[in-house]
Amino acid sequence: MNPLCEMLAAEDIELDADLDSADAVLARLAAILARRIGRLPADVLRGLEHRERLGSTALGHGVAIPHARLAECGAEAAALVRTATPVPYGAPDGRPVSLFLGLVVPAQAGEQHLKLLATAAALLGDRSKRATLATCASAADVVAVLETLPDAPGAPNR
């Protein structure tokens, strides 16, 4: 099973969110991720914001992978937010972003974090998968899409 499928449940997915800025998106992702790891949203938000200050996590083609390593994080977690309207996010292609996959991992998860990012980038880098995720009508539909994905090369061992 693809590790993202193992990490994303329907309650971790919000579709067509009415968010109009990068700050609003990061706050929403932080709230979802904080619930998953049992931390305060402000703690998760600080980690995501710190990483974004190093450079935008937008990949282009309307997708971004905001992520952070957190000392207070006991396990990896993921959240997916699709905005109703794309928001400016500093993407390399200059296009606004509407599909955000947020990730947090424990601070000590160096190689594991990189492998998870590579898995996420491979998923969102695929044009047909992006198009499918952009048209899902429900969180359950997103989960069903993820369930059809093969194990990603280099994915974290489970």
DSSP one-letter string for 29-44: HHHHHHHHHT--HHHH
**80 pLDDT exceeds 60?**
yes
Residue 5 DSSP SS3: helix
Q: Which of 50, 61, 67, 113 is catalytic?
A: 67
> Residue 114: which pLDDT band, with cuts at 50, 70 and 90?
confident
What pLDDT score was predicted for residue 150? 63
- What integer pLDDT is reported at residue 156 of this predicted model? 38
- Could you report the per-residue pLDDT of 29-63, keeping only the tens digit for each? 999 999 999 999 999 999 999 999 999 999 999 99
Which residue bears the tokens 């937008």?
A: 58
Q: What average pLDDT does this structure show over 103-115?
A: 82
Q: Give the Cβ contact number of residue 138 at 10 Å.
A: 11
- What region does 83 belong to: left with phi over 0, alpha with psi -120 to 50, or beta? beta
Establish whether 67 is a catalytic residue.
yes
Examine the pLDDT at 83 and tell me if it is beyond 80. yes
